[in-house]
Amino acid sequence: MTLDKDKMLEYCNQFSKNTLMETLNIEYIDAGEGFLVAKMPVNSSVHQPMGLLHGGASVALAESVGSAASHFFINDKEQEVRGIEISANHLKSIREGFVFGTARIIHKGRSLHLWEIKITDEEGNLVSLCKLTNMVLTKEKNKN
């Protein structure tokens, strides 16, 4: 598979417009063979009441980057991706700065993709470890 990194990042950032990814200020910043990286700012808009990064925001970052990464492996004119299961272990607290979600493919099947997403802070410390399963579906043909 040949990957045009700049085109993929532009595509991912473009389809994030007017979505939760835009609300959370998630930006796709790096891509390569079998991986995609996005960053998200940590500030009061993604805090839980104790002033820490909300676990749900971490999971939203993980699902966003893992689902976007599945687009590397599909024909988006004929197929679409649905996240069907996600799990997360939150290992470290963070109050401010940025977190980075790196999705790496574990299994690439015809109908299922399994991703490991590591969420790290700016120093590379592991904040959350997530696993995402995506289903690849055939788009329905338009009925006339």
Catalytic residue among 10, 27, 33, 63: 63
Q: Is 63 a catalytic residue?
A: yes
Collapsed DSSP state (helix, strand, coil) of residue 26: coil
Say if CB 119 and CB 126 are below 8 A apart.
yes
Alpha helices by DSSP H, listed for the chain, are 5-15, 20-23, 55-70
Q: Which residue has the tokens 């996600």?
A: 86
Say if CB 47 and CB 26 are below 8 A apart.
no
Catalytic residues: 63
